[in-house]
Amino acid sequence: MQASTAVTPTTGHCGTIFVTIELSQKTWLVTLHSPDRDRISRHKVEGGDHAELLALIQRVQVRVADRLGTAPKVVSCYEAGYDGFWLHRLLMAAGITNFVFDPASIAVEQRSRRAKTDRIDGELLLRTLMAHQRGEPRVVRIVRVPSVEQEDARRASRERDRLVKEQTGHTNRIKALLRLVGMAVGNPRRGDWLGWLERQRDRQGDPMPSHLLAEVKREHARLMLVREQLAALEQASATSAACVPAQMAERQELLQRLKALGPVFAATLTNEVLYKDFRNRREVASYCGLTPSPWRSGGIDREQGISKAGNPRARLKAVELAWLWRRHQPDSKLSQWFAARTANAGKRARRVAIIALARKLIVALWRYLTTGLVPEGAVMKA
């Protein structure tokens, strides 16, 4: 363990121990300030050794209690990232008030070559935590930690998206290999496709070269494996609907009543965005990264586009839903707004407008789920 003599900023929390944890796979750097000392101490813990972390905090608690005569409060934080939220739940269960910070919201120096070490980051996290506890506004954004059930429920939709991308990649690779020799492609996703392929000939009437055929067969085997996993995942999702939290299941059902939303899309939207309890429409758009980012300073006034901060999967689905909404809900007020906005407009103007439609639509769906207000002009399924 290592300690330094750096002086800590003045704080009004005399009976509070502040702890920040800089996480990595190899080691954790614990930066700590206790009310019985006027300095910041640092302690290295082996990565993932939560027992040693809790023991360290407990030793400091005992020392402070002996010095002050009262049991101190412990407040900790770490940045959201690779380790997820298991450590947050562990600390909260141990009676420690913990916060998970959004790393992108922490203010840093704007030098062209700023120094960055775990030591510096630990001190910065500590100052940010103290400022947040003092009640300073807009110091940092706190991540809302989902429950274990909510976090587990969205694994199926995320795995499905990943498998669909792999399926598309294998299919495109097979098509590219066959184009090298000018052969027909057919449908590689069929189970009897390899038998059909061996009967094909190139433009000169020759069979496919042996090495190329072997590579295509291996690629096709990977494609078939992905398709089997997709089928098994869809079957498991249909049979394990009872494991989904009641609120999420109810919201999925409400979304499926709207035309243009199928079971897979409704589940993905619910798992990524609409399971959260937002306070207002700005939080909904901000979570999807669909809020504008103006640049106004002095005489400069321009727009930089959407912020793209937040959940990228949610933003992708919101934009995809906007195009589906235009096709399946042409008489709704939102679709009519888009049509009027893009009348006689070019491709770029349509792309800009579809982002605005996605923002309006995701907010309208949030209102529909929380208040029961159906989007104006939307058609419900029979």
pLDDT band for position 242 (50/70/90)? Answer: low
- As a whole number, mean pLDDT of residues 203-217 equals 87
Q: pLDDT value at position 5?
A: 40
- Tokens standing for residue 167: 């399926």
pLDDT band for position 54 (50/70/90)? Answer: very high
Is the model more confident about 305 or about 166? 166
pLDDT digits (tens, 9 = 90+) for 94-117: 999 999 999 988 988 888 888 889
Q: 15 pLDDT exceeds 90?
A: no
Q: 13 pLDDT exceeds 60?
A: no
Q: 6 pLDDT exceeds 70?
A: no
Q: pLDDT value at position 214?
A: 92
From CA 315, how far away is CA 332, in angstroms rounded?
22
pLDDT digits (tens, 9 = 90+) for 116-149: 899 999 999 999 999 999 999 989 999 999 999 8
Q: 167 pLDDT exceeds 90?
A: yes
pLDDT band for position 332 (50/70/90)? Answer: very high
The reported pTM is 0.82
